[in-house]
Each structure stands twice: as structure tokens, then as C-alpha cells.
Structure 1
Amino acid sequence: MKRALVSKNKFKFIDGTIEVPNICDPNYEAWDRCNNLIHSWILGSLSPSIAHIVIYIENAIEVWNDLKERFSQGDLIRIAEQQQELHNLRQGTLNVSEYFTELKSLWEELEHYRPIPQCTCPVTCTCLTMRNSRLYRQ
């Protein structure tokens, strides 16, 4: 969903970059149209049982945050499962290419769930902690 929204230049509506304008603001109608479009895209991508939970939430960012909070809880379980899979992975009868592909796939998925934090310093950061963390992970 994030890729679809980014490709349509609409992700800023759900990441908080574009704030809800005042109803008297001349931009409110355009924002409302985009909000409803995004809301319908999100609902269309959900199973009916999940869509039923968020259908009455008016603001797309609130829908996004509700779903994120609801379904990100499983990340810790998935991280533990992946760590176990990595620990148990053996080449066995796989050729080197197949083994490496399986290993790399597990590493990349684990990285997705445990990203290295980005520096948010207002001034260009001078400490090398983030860079060193990335190098260590690589």
C-alpha cells in the first residue's frame, strides 16, 4: 500500500506531512477529495472483515495509524521466528546459490522489521554512530 501511495504522490496524506486543513480553508475540498480517495484505496486493499473495522473512520491517516497499530504487534513474533529460521538454516542439499538466496531473503526481511534508526538532528550530525551501525550490519 505504501508503494502505491508513494507512486501516486499521496503518501504525505498518511505520514502526517500534509495536515488536515481547517474546513474554512479554500484547500479543504481538495484535501477532502484526496483523503476520500486514499481511504477508498486502503479499504479496497483490505479483506472485508478488516475493512469493516475501519470503514467508519473518516480520516485516511487515522485509518492508516489504526491498522499500523493493530498489525505491527506481530512484528516481534515474526522477528523471533526469523531469528530461529536463520539459526536453523543449513545448506543441506541446496546448491550455494539457492542457500545464499534463502539466507539473503531472511536477512532482508529481518532488516525490514528492525531498521537502523535515522539521525534526526536538525544540524548535520557529526557523530559517526549511524554510519558505524550501518557498516556493522553490512
Structure 2
Amino acid sequence: MGDEGKIDPSSPFYLGSGNQLGNLITHVILKGDNYLSWSRAITLSLKSKRKFGFVDGTISKPTEKKKMLDWDTVNSMLVSWILRAIEPKLAASIPFFDEAKRPWDYLEKRYCEASGPRLQQLRASIINCKQLQNMSVEDYYNQLMGFFDDLVRLKPPHGCDCGNCSCNVAAKYELDRDEEKLHQFLVNIDDAKYAVVQTNLLSQQPPATLDRAYQALLQEERSRNIAQTKSHEDKAEAHVFALPDRGKQFFVQRDKLRLFCSHCK
């Protein structure tokens, strides 16, 4: 807080002129079955506004009367934003909450349940995720990583519970998960276009990282697009150069018809 009661723009309690009750903070609308992608979009949006602490509980409720007013104002705004990003029929079924953390927790409990069928569905989606003929490397990568992110969200990796472990099991688990992502990404890439790059990456020792493989395939995609564009331009240029001969023949024939003898007419 400033000396005159004004809130610093860097404070999570700050609400600028662009923050209104009717704002739509994400174009991803919650319909029920898309909760995981919706919650990611909401999280990113609120973090960019420095407001996610109200939702996850890290910004606790103040005890000072003056700060309590700011707290209530921000929470009312956040509740409005969350409800605005939910399909109207679905939003009507949600109980009234005056704190942003409560509807957030309610929706997570309602839709983010790690049931057996849901986990099996996600694993099947990962296995069956392939780069289609007209799909870019970036779109394929984003789709596959989205499935992996959803799986981690529903079934977080195990770590050390005792706090005394010195073998760093969490880091080892993360390496295994990254290797799994790499192989799944490369196995279902378009063989017709990227077979050579795919083979090279899979045979590298030590194994390539997921980021390295992604960048290598992006580079190959750009090279192929440039070569394809150049081929089209060469064909178009050859077609243009072929036109003048036909045009010249036409104009020559036309000029001959206009000639006549000035003596015999």
C-alpha cells in the first residue's frame, strides 16, 4: 500500500481499469469433460495477473480491516471471472461462493477425479496420438504433451515421503518420464517425411533429449517447406517463360493480316 492508500500495481491486490466483472480471461470454456485444459488456461491467466495465490490459498485472508476490503474486492472479481469462463448451464449448477478458492476446489473435486476409466482413456490417447498427414510437428507435439500433462495432473509422480531420502528418486522418475515422452513422440511421427531424422535420434548415445528431438524435427520441417516452396516457384517461372513464344506468334500473325500493297491495293 502507498502512503495515500493507493495499491501498488505490482501487488496481487491491485485491480486496474481493465479488470472488470464481465471480463473473459480465457477463451477455453469449461464444459465438464475439458476440465484439465480449462484449469491450465485459467491458471496461466491468473498467474499473469498475479492473482492465482487467491485461488490456491497461498495468499491468506488478512486480519486488518483495511486490507480485508481489498481482499473481498479481489475475491469477488475472481469468482466472477471463473464463473464467466464456465458454460452457463454448468455455472448455474455450482453453489454460491464468495471466495475464489472454494469454487476452484469444488470444480477440481467434481471433475478432476483420477478414476480407472479416465486414466485408461488418457493412456490410450497417448498411445494412439499420431502425426496426421496435414498436421504440423508443433501441433502434433502440443497434442501429445497435453495428454501427458493431463496424466501427471490426475496421477502425480511419487516422491520421497520421509524427507530423509538421499537417492533423489523424484529426479530419477522424471528422467524416466522424459524418456517415455521422447520415444512416444518419435514413434508416432510421420515416417514418410521424417524417417531419417527419427532413426538418427533414436540411435543416439547418450539418448537425445525431448527438446533436442523437437527442435531437430522442426528444422527438418522448415527445410522441407522451403524446398517445396522453391520447387513450386521454379515450375511457375518455367511456365511464365514459355508464354512469350505463343504471344509472339500471335502478334506476328496479326500484323501480317494488316499488310497490303500500295500499288495494287
TM interval, short-chain normalised: 0.7 to 0.9
Rg (Cα) greater in structure: 2
1:34 paired to 2:74: yes
The letter of the residue matching 1:113 is L
Q: What is the DSSP-based 3-state SS (H/G/I as helix, E as strand, rest coil) of the residue aligned with 1:58?
A: coil
Partner amino acid, structure 1, of 2:62: P
Q: Deviations over 1:27-83 (max 9, x none)?
A: 100111100110110011011122123352111110110011111126653321132
* Consecutive unaligned residues in structure 2, runs of 5 or more: 1-41, 179-265
Q: Determine which structure has greater relative contact order: mean sequence separation of CA pairs < 8 Å that are 6+ residues apart, divided by chain length.
A: 1
Q: Unpaired segments of 5 or more residues in structure 1? A: none
Structure 1 distance, partners of 2:52, 2:74, is 11
Counterpart check, 1:14 vs 2:55: yes
Report the Cα distance in structure 2 between the residues aligned to 1:74 and 1:136, rounded to whole angstroms: 21
Residue aligned with 1:27, SS: helix
Matched-pair contact (CA < 8 Å) for 2:159–2:170: yes
Give the deviation of 1:116 after TM superposition. Answer: 3.1
Following superposition, the deviation at residue 103 of structure 1 comes to: 7.3
- Identity rate, percent: 26
The verdict on how the C-alpha distance between 1:44 and 1:134 changes in structure 2, with shifts beyond 3 A counting, is same
TM norm structure 2: 0.42
CA distance in 2, matches of 1:61, 1:53: 17
> Once superposed, what is the RMSD of the aligned Cα atoms?
3.4
Amino acid at match of 1:127: C
Checking the alignment, whether the CA contact within 8 Å between 1:21 and 1:27 is kept in structure 2 is: yes
Equivalent residue, structure 2, for 1:131: 171
Match of 1:111 among 134, 146, 149: 149
Q: Secondary structure at the match of 1:26?
A: helix
Q: TM-score, normalised by structure 1?
A: 0.74
